[in-house]
Homo-oligomer: A and B are copies of this chain.
Amino acid sequence: MREYYSITELTREFDISTRTLRFYEDEGLVQPVRRGRTRLFRPTDRHLIRQILRGRRLGFSINEIREIIQMYKEPPGEVGQLKLMIKRIEEKRGELRQKRRDLEETLAELDHAEESCVERLVELGVNT
């Protein structure tokens, strides 16, 4: 496990711009350390980026991603906070399950659409 990653290394690995990474830093999603003024990203930052991009692909906003990331962190020490956190996690899971239903339905419709296309090709006597 490497200790530090430069910003351009990560932009290449994840195919995002430096602007994007700096933006995520401004938003408090990652906290690279500094050597002088240059940013050094640690494995934990790298993993966070992975999580951010996952959230992004799922259509979550930066704020929602921030919330989700909070949930991955060390659980709080106080009972009320813990219960609240669990409730929030439940809510997010609800959203994700909704997304999963949406996804399966969309996939099913695409399957159906493809079938229609294939049938049509067969009708036209195309060798598949």
Interfacial residues, chain A to chain B (CB-CB below 8 A)? 51, 54-60, 68, 71-72, 74-75, 77, 79, 82-83, 85-86, 89-90, 92-93, 96-100, 102-103, 105-107, 109-110, 113-114, 116-118, 120-121, 124, 126
A96–B106 CB distance below 8 A: yes
How many copies the complex holds: the figure is 2
> Separation in Å of the A99 CB from the closest CB of chain B?
6
Q: Is the CB of B110 within 8 A of A93?
A: yes
CB A80 to nearest CB in B, in angstroms, measures 10
Cβ–Cβ contact B57 & A99, under 8 A: yes
Q: Which residues from B are CB-within-8-Å of A82?
A: 117, 120-121, 124, 126
CA distance A71 to B82 in the complex (A): 46
Q: Is the interface of A mostly helix, strand, loop or mixed?
A: helix
CB-CB under 8 A from A56, the residues of chain B are: 59
Q: List 24 A-B contacts (CB under 8 A).
A: A54-B105, A55-B102, A56-B59, A57-B59, A57-B102, A58-B58, A58-B102, A59-B59, A59-B60, A68-B110, A72-B113, A75-B113, A75-B117, A79-B121, A82-B121, A82-B124, A82-B126, A83-B121, A86-B117, A89-B110, A96-B106, A97-B107, A100-B103, A103-B103
